[in-house]
Amino acid sequence: MAEEDALSLETRLLDQARELLIAQPGRALAVLGEHRRRFPNGQLEAEREFLSIQALVLLGRTAEARQQMHALEVAYPRSSYVGRAARLLDAR
């Protein structure tokens, strides 16, 4: 798969998850799981993990969301998604 095609597919999956996030966080999490399987080291990995944290919080699975936030922090310590995830979890 060409890099441009892969990024395009990654983007489409994350867009789909974002659209589902509020109304159907469980389905959004499933789409993000598909992204994780297809693109374990994708270019949009940090965004995927942040969206997963949001979905977990919306599902009331805060402990899992915190674990995932710590993994995001280890993998991407300088990412703005780390701070956003921390604020999201602090609000819970």
- Encode pLDDT of 13-44 as tens digits: 999 999 999 999 999 999 999 999 999 999 99
Asked if the model's pLDDT at residue 3 lies above 90, the reply is no
Q: Mean pLDDT across the stretch 7-14? A: 96
What pLDDT is attached to residue 1?
A: 57
What pLDDT is attached to residue 4?
A: 72
Q: What is the pTM of this model?
A: 0.93
Alpha-carbon distances, residue 29 vs 1, 3, 5, 7, 78 (angstroms): 24, 24, 23, 19, 24
Asked if the model's pLDDT at residue 92 lies above 90, the reply is no
Collapse the DSSP code of 10 into the 3-class scheme (helix H, G, I; strand E, B; otherwise coil) and give the result. Answer: helix
> Contact 17/58 with Cβ under 8 angstroms?
no
